[in-house]
């Protein structure tokens, strides 16, 4: 056996310093990990993170959604000549996939305003919308265009129940906007939506495709009314949307030719 080294005060000091350094490094790593979980910054973070109980054993307060304005949004995030493509009333097993194909062919992202029960019925479509980089919008449970004349409790039920169903269908993906059916916003409904992190979303160009006026009329509405503002309204639900599919096929290349890139509706204050 080799000769045992003598333990000296100098060696003890070095060992102590190394131990303190390792402890500090470990604490820093733990702090970074905890911060990442709290902020949802990890890859693919979609859900509210679990928060450990407080020292007194009480359950912590739930993490609140990021605050967004209660005012109705029309502008684009990108600004300039960009436009927002918004598609309402789906998802629909026939028309939504066709519209998604056209959007993909043109390299365009859109905002899909979904009705809660429809999202629950077709979760695969909801997940496809999310997977292809589009955004989600809460369009209530029953698409009641008279909900602005109903009690606040009813409005809240329509908005929050739909939000829950869409989130479940989407596998927990975030819902960025709320659009009232037929534009039936109220100060209360806007407040309810904003408190849940959903920006109230309006439109500037009503293509009236819901009435099936013909493909040419839908395309013409976009060309004639785009000066009103950047947010364009289409539908993928509520009936035969073959005219909308063909109009979208024509409108997207035209927008690009006219120097109108696509964006998403603004969510935060300027």
Helices (H), the chain: 9-39, 95-105, 116-121, 123-131, 152-169, 187-195, 215-225, 242-257
Catalytic residue among 88, 92, 138, 176: 88
Catalytic residue among 134, 139, 143, 235: 235
Percentages (nearest 5) of helix, strand, coil residues in the chain: 45, 10, 40
Residue in 262, 270, 266, 205 with CA at minimum distance from that of residue 84: 262
Is 143 a catalytic site residue? no
For residue 79, how many other CB atoms are within 10 A of its CB? 11
Please give the backbone phi and psi of residue 36, each rounded to the nearest 5 degrees, phi first: -65, -40
The one-character DSSP state at 104 is: H
Residue 131, C-beta contacts closer than 8 angstroms, at least 6 positions apart: none
At 207 the three-state DSSP class reads coil
CA-CA distance, 253 to 246, in Å (whole number)?
A: 12
Residues acting as catalytic residues: 88, 235
């Amino acid at each position: 056996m080799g000769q045992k080294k003598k333990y000296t005060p100098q060696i003890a000091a070095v060992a102590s310093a190394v131990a303190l350094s390792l402890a500090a490094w470990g604490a820093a790593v733990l702090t970074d990990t905890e911060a990442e979980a709290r902020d949802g910054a990890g890859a693919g973070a979609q859900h509210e993170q679990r928060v450990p109980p407080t020292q007194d054993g009480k359950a912590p307060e739930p993490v609140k959604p990021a605050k967004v304005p209660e005012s109705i949004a029309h502008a684009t995030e990108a600004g300039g000549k960009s436009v927002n493509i918004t598609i309402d009333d789906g998802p629909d097993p026939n028309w939504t996939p066709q519209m998604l194909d056209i959007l993909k062919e043109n390299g365009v992202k859109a905002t899909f305003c979904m009705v809660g029960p429809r999202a629950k019925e077709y979760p695969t479509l909801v997940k496809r919308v999310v997977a292809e980089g589009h955004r989600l919008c809460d369009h209530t449970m029953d698409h009641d265009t008279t909900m602005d004349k109903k009690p606040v409790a009813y409005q809240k039920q329509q908005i929050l129940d739909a939000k829950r169903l869409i989130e479940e269908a989407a596998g927990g993906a975030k819902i960025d906007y709320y659009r009232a059916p037929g534009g039936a916003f109220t100060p209360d409904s806007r407040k309810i939506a904003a408190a849940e992190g959903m920006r109230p979303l309006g439109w500037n160009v009503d293509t009236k495709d819901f009435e099936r006026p013909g493909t040419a009329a839908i395309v013409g509405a976009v060309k004639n009314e785009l000066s009103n503002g950047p947010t364009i309204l289409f539908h993928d639900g509520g009936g035969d949307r073959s005219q909308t599919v063909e109009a979208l096929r024509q409108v997207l290349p035209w927008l690009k030719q006219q120097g109108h890139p696509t964006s998403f509706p603004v969510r935060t204050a300027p």
